[in-house]
Amino acid sequence: MSTVTPTRTSHEAVPTADGHGTADRVGSGLFDPRQLLESFPDALRKLDPRVMIKSPVMFVVLAGSVVTTVLALTDPTDWFAWAITGWLWLTTVFANLAEAVAEGRGKAQADTLRRAKTDTVARRIIGPNEERVAGTDLRIGDLVVCEAGDVIPGDGDVVEGVASVDESAITGESAPVIRESGGDRSAVTGGTKVLSDRVVIRITTRPGETFIDRMINLVEGAARQKTPNEIALNILLASLTIVFLLAVVTLKPFAIYAGADDQTSLIVLTALLVCLIPTTIGALLSAIGIAGMDRLVQRNVLAMSGRAVEAAGDVSTLLLDKTGTITLGNRQAAAFVPVEGVTEADLADAAQLSSLADETPEGRSIVVLAKETYGLRERDQGELTGATWVEFTAQTRMSGVDLDGRKVRKGATGSVLAWVKDRGGRAPGDAAALTDGIAQAGGTPLLVAVEDAEGARVLGVIHLKDVVKEGMRERFEELRRMGIRTVMITGDNPLTAKAIAEEAGVDDFLAEATPEDKMALIKREQAGGKLVAMTGDGTNDAPALAQADVGVAMNTGTSAAKEAGNMVDLDSNPTKLIEIVEIGKQLLITRGALTTFSIANDVAKYFAIIPAMFAVAYPSLDKLNIMGLTSPESAILSAVIFNALIIVALVPLALKGVRYRPASADRMLRRNLGLYGLGGLVAPFIGIKLIDLLLTLIPGIG
């Protein structure tokens, strides 16, 4: 199997988490001469009618170019025919160049990945033995062994062991990650490198279908298919083209009847048709879609289809996990709250003692809080001779220590209360009120209890606080202005969930959520006609990711989650979902804005050409020649030249995208109509008049 070795070259091939990877470097110069030169042969190859037919509008332009070329050859001295022919061919090439430049940015990344490919030898397990086989011989279900220094031969899940893995070939992030069996961080990718320890991996993909292979296909655009909206817009553009074709064809009989036959030659009618059909958006439509995918790649997100990017722009409901997305994830000890009759110092001492063996971030924060707030020296486990440490388990939900006939426990409220009750003790009356108060404030209460000569009793509560990430409330407010409803998903109890939801500013929350609850929520939203987006990383998230319209799987998650989602976030950052929605909306806005501009352009070009064509036969039409164009030939040629140049001028906007500002749909529509609709009407009048003035300087035209 061909995989990618994590060399410096492949590291640079993919955009890094800070957004300064190859995609940015390649895309930074939209009109870099070298990039244009490299893309020009592709633009010429796209003149193949079998390729051009995919865009009906540009296929008509190609056909018109061929017709005018034939007509120009019949009279080599007709400068007007040759001028029209040359600019029609340039129009076709400019349209192909826009798409070629957009594709070239992705191909630059794919080429670098291909150069870094190498054949990998795998150690496949056969019964009690191992055999060395080529990576291309591996099949789904095979077990392979990888140790420190080995390149992982294919995509799979760790089924035994734990190891540190270098994923810089995929993510661009140099820091190693931990992959282990039995959890949501078991997925490994072919081409990454094991740095330490030993793992057994079950292969989950066939050769040639690995994540790396799909990544190459996606970034170079080979796997991109037209989205439903693109197909619908192409049908609309084709319909408009047919309408204008019929209209132009009928002009010939009218011209003969009016005695203006010399003004409506086939070359002139062809030029008129090309100027009236929506060539601008027809030329840029494909580039807009490719650029949208590229903007996701720049943010280390791989979309498995253009449909997913488009759906992200139409999302109306976001499902976001609380931990790690809305909050920092690592709860920190904020306060020690003793029950009546117990001092804070005694509670802090017991809490610190019971947390010395707790290596979790929560446990470490308890030790630090006791040290900094109450001056308690952090004791080393080695100093406490004879101590028996009680580790936290999912069954007991407690941890602690037995030392010198004294037992100290810290843990979940229900577990600690049951432990006290089993030893003949009971909780004081204010313990329940303290835990409820902390939960209602959005915190997590941990009870601390002790059993000594005085019996078993509760000493107080540790207040753990899950800190909401800075700026989240503002982000959710932006989403609300966009008409997007946010729902926080958490396993916390309803009281804690409500407090966090209010602090973060989300619209709703789902507490004590199970995989079935997530699936039911998605189906309810979709039943109401809404599109839903969510993130996930575990096998239990796979059904919901598959059901969601936009399912973003974390790269650190399981293979099942990555297969179920239609996007993969290489940075495994759950908040990336908000950026994905913004990119999707930017794609839709860009397509809509340029469509509006293109159609408005056609209206203006109509006023430039039609009056010039028939002013001789119908002098009253000269009143419509508001630009005062010099002659019919100058008017037609100016419109054709402007039609070609406007495509080039709009390529940067198509690739970069219209700037997105969170706003309601009505407000965005008014803004686009005002800016691009009005701009599309005004620009041709100015541009065509300037070109006409320049043409008058050429002898024989003025």
Question: Please, what are the domains in the chain?
Answer: 33-106+220-295+583-697 (no CATH), 117-219 (2.70.150.10), 301-326+469-570 (3.40.50.1000), 328-467 (3.40.1110.10)
Beta-strand relationship, 187-188 and 156-166: antiparallel
Q: Return binding residues.
A: 358, 362, 392-399, 410, 537, 541
Is residue 255 exposed (0-12), middle (13-18) or buried (19+ Cβ within 10 Å)? buried
The answer on pLDDT for 12 being more than 60 is no
Q: Of 326-330, 574-578, 581-585, which gets the smallest average pLDDT?
A: 326-330
Whole-number pLDDT of residue 21? 38
The answer on pLDDT for 249 being more than 80 is yes
Of 382 and 248, the one with more pLDDT: 248
- Residue 184 designated active-site: no
- 380 three-state secondary structure: coil
- 68 three-state secondary structure: helix
The answer on pLDDT for 92 being more than 90 is yes
> Which residues does 89 contact at the CB level (< 8 Å), separation at least 6?
65, 69
The 10s digit of each residue's pLDDT in 328-356 is 766 788 889 999 888 888 898 888 888 88
Going by the DSSP 8-state scheme, the letter that residue 151 receives in this structure is B
Q: What is the mean pLDDT of residues 132-143?
A: 86
Q: Please provide the average confidence, as pLDDT, over all residues in the chain.
A: 80
The 10s digit of each residue's pLDDT in 169-183 is 666 566 688 888 876
In angstroms, rounded to a whole number, what is the distance separating the alpha carbons of residues 664 and 480?
9
Beta-strand relationship, 198-203 and 332-338: unpaired
In angstroms, rounded to a whole number, what is the distance separating the alpha carbons of residues 633 and 613?
9
Confidence of residue 536 (pLDDT cuts 50, 70, 90): confident
Whole-number pLDDT of residue 23? 36
- Which percentage of the chain shows pLDDT scores above 70? 83
In angstroms, rounded to a whole number, what is the distance separating the alpha carbons of residues 155 and 188?
6
Confidence of residue 222 (pLDDT cuts 50, 70, 90): very low
Q: What is the mean pLDDT of residues 21-48?
A: 64
Give the number of C-alpha atoms closer than 13 A to the C-alpha of residue 650, restricted to the C-beta side.
34
- What are 307's two structure tokens? 């449909």
Confidence of residue 383 (pLDDT cuts 50, 70, 90): low
Q: What is the mean pLDDT of residues 517-539?
A: 86
First to last CA, the chain: 67
Of 469 and 650, the one with more pLDDT: 650
Exposure string of 282-306, with b = 16+ CB inside 10 Å and e = fewer, is: bbbbbbbbbbbbbbbbbbbbbbbbb
Q: How far is CA 144 from CA 184, 272, 309, in A?
A: 20, 66, 36
In angstroms, rounded to a whole number, what is the distance separating the alpha carbons of residues 167 and 156?
14
Confidence of residue 63 (pLDDT cuts 50, 70, 90): very high
The answer on pLDDT for 66 being more than 80 is yes
Q: At what angle do helices 632-656 and 79-115 cross, to 10 degrees?
A: 10
- What are 558's two structure tokens? 């399981």
In angstroms, rounded to a whole number, what is the distance separating the alpha carbons of residues 411 and 420?
12
The residue type at 636: I
Of 188 and 17, the one with more pLDDT: 188
- What are 327's two structure tokens? 């909050």
Q: Return binding residues for Mg(2+).
A: 537, 541
The 10s digit of each residue's pLDDT in 72-91 is 998 888 888 999 999 999 99
The residue annotated as part of the active site, out of 142, 184, 321, 549, is: 321
The 10s digit of each residue's pLDDT in 661-693 is 777 777 878 888 888 888 888 888 899 889 988
On whether the CB atoms of residues 307 and 228 are closer than 8 A, the answer is yes
Token look-up 């062809």 returns 270
Whole-number pLDDT of residue 32? 62
The residue type at 97: L
pTM of the model: 0.67
Confidence of residue 616 (pLDDT cuts 50, 70, 90): low
Q: What is the mean pLDDT of residues 302-319?
A: 83
Alpha-helix runs per DSSP H in 53-165: 56-74, 79-115
In angstroms, rounded to a whole number, what is the distance separating the alpha carbons of residues 433 and 374?
24
Q: Angle at Cα 11 formed by Cα 104 and Cα 585, nearest 5°?
A: 50
Q: Which of 319, 16, 314 is nearest to 172 (CA)?
A: 16
